[in-house]
């Protein structure tokens, strides 16, 4: 029996270049998200894209996997911040998601940079989204140990 099953639906109207889609999710958390080709390939203008949703899924999943590994290591994090960038490129004349860049900033008392690298590598092995992308998308992870309180978003 599966641990969980989540659902989402999009209703797309019109041709690709001028059409629009409205995404809804079973949980209600993603209801009425607008999706367009322009938001995917040009300016988002308040709309989302599959790549942004993959980035969000990967960042949140990786943060959970890292928190798990750090907890198992008896060094639970004060804060983990993971940002993700998902790249859509043209490959052989077709659009393809080619890379995901993860940046991990962790505030973990009692942990040094070497330990962080080890736990990040273990989290990468455990993260279900990383595993779903494995073999199809290049995933690069950078990590940094943060001392003190960090409030600004990663850019």
Backbone angles phi, psi at 110, to 5 degrees: 80, 10
Residues 6 or more apart whose Cβ sits within 8 Å of residue 153: 81, 83
CA 124 to chain centre: 12
Instruction: Produce one character per residue of 8-26: b if its CB has 16 or more CB atoms within 10 Å, e if not.
Output: eeeeeeeeeeeeebebbee
Query: pTM, whole model, 2 decimals?
Result: 0.90
Please determine, for residue 151, whether its predicted confidence score (pLDDT) is greater than 60: no
pLDDT band per the 50, 70, 90 thresholds, residue 150? low
H/E element, 51: helix 50-72
Tens digits of residue pLDDT in 34-74: 999 999 999 999 999 999 999 999 999 999 999 999 999 99
Tens digits of residue pLDDT in 78-122: 999 999 999 999 999 999 999 999 999 999 999 999 999 999 999
């Amino acid at each position: 029996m599966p641990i969980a099953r989540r659902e989402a639906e999009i209703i797309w109207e019109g041709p690709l270049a001028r059409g629009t889609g409205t995404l809804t999710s079973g949980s209600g958390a993603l209801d009425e998200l607008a999706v367009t080709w322009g938001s995917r390939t040009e300016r988002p203008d308040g709309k989302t894209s599959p790549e942004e949703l993959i980035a969000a899924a990967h960042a949140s999943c990786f943060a959970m996997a890292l928190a798990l590994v750090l907890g198992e290591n008896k060094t639970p994090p004060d804060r983990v911040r993971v940002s993700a960038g998902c790249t859509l490129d043209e490959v052989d004349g077709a659009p393809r998601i080619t890379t995901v860049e993860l940046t991990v900033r962790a505030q973990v008392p009692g942990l040094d940079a070497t330990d962080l690298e080890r736990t990040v590598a273990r989290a990468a092995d455990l993260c279900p989204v990383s595993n779903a992308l494995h073999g199809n998308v290049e995933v690069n992870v950078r990590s940094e140990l943060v001392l003190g309180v960090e409030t600004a978003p990663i850019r």
